[in-house]
Amino acid sequence: MSGYVRRAWMVAWKDVLSERRSKESLNALVFFSLLLLFVFQFALGPERTRVEAALPGLLWLAFILSGLLAFGRAFLIERENDCWEGLVLSPGDKSAIYLGKLAGNLLVMLVVEVVLLVLFAVFFALDFTPALPALAAVLALGTLGLAAVGTLFGAITAQVRAREVLLPVLLLPAVVPVLLASVSATQTALSGQPLAEAAQWLKLLAAADLVYLVVGVLTFEFVLEG
The H or E element containing residue 45 is none
Q: Which is nearer to another protein, 31 or 222 (CB)?
A: 222
Q: What is the Rg, in whole angstroms, of the alpha carbon atoms belonging to the chain?
A: 18
Q: Which is nearer to another protein, 66 or 184 (CB)?
A: 184
- Interacting residue with another protein among 116, 189, 208, 217 (CB under 8 A): 208
Other C-beta atoms within 10 Å of 95: how many? 20
CA distance 74 to 14: 12
For position 76 contacting another protein by CB under 8 A, the verdict is: no
For position 176 contacting another protein by CB under 8 A, the verdict is: yes
For position 82 contacting another protein by CB under 8 A, the verdict is: yes
For position 61 contacting another protein by CB under 8 A, the verdict is: no
- Interacting residue with another protein among 66, 105, 184, 186 (CB under 8 A): 184
CA distances (Å), 69 to each of 3, 151, 198, 201, in order?
31, 11, 29, 26
Question: Judged by CB under 8 A, which stretch of 3-11, 62-70, 103-111, 123-131 contacts another protein?
Answer: 3-11
Residues 6+ apart with CB under 8 A from 132: none
Sign of the CA dihedral running 62, 142, 70, 152: negative
Task: Identify the three-state secondary structure at position 24.
Answer: helix
What residues line the site for another protein (CB under 8 A)? 3, 6-7, 10-11, 13-14, 17-19, 21-22, 77, 80-83, 85-92, 149, 152-153, 156-157, 159-162, 166, 169-170, 172-174, 176-177, 180-181, 184, 200-201, 204, 207-208, 211-212, 215, 219, 222-223, 225-226
